[in-house]
Amino acid sequence: MIDYLGLQFEVESTFSKLILIAMTVIIPKLTRAVIFNQTKSTKFTDHPHLSSQLK
């Protein structure tokens, strides 16, 4: 017999861990992208290498 409750709990905890990881990884990237877009100016577009590094 498979312990369905234990399995379900394992899946849910793994899923919540994935969500936590995704939030800690994606949200800073999103905020960085938003900040970068807001502060983007000619000095960044003049240097393609620099602007591609910041993305």
23 vs 55 pLDDT, higher one: 23
Q: What is the pLDDT of residues 7-45, one digit of tens each?
A: 777 888 888 899 999 889 988 888 888 888 777 655 555
Structure pTM?
0.40
The full DSSP string for 34-50 is HHHHHH--HHHHT-HHH
The vertex-24 CA angle with 23 and 25, nearest 5°, equals: 90
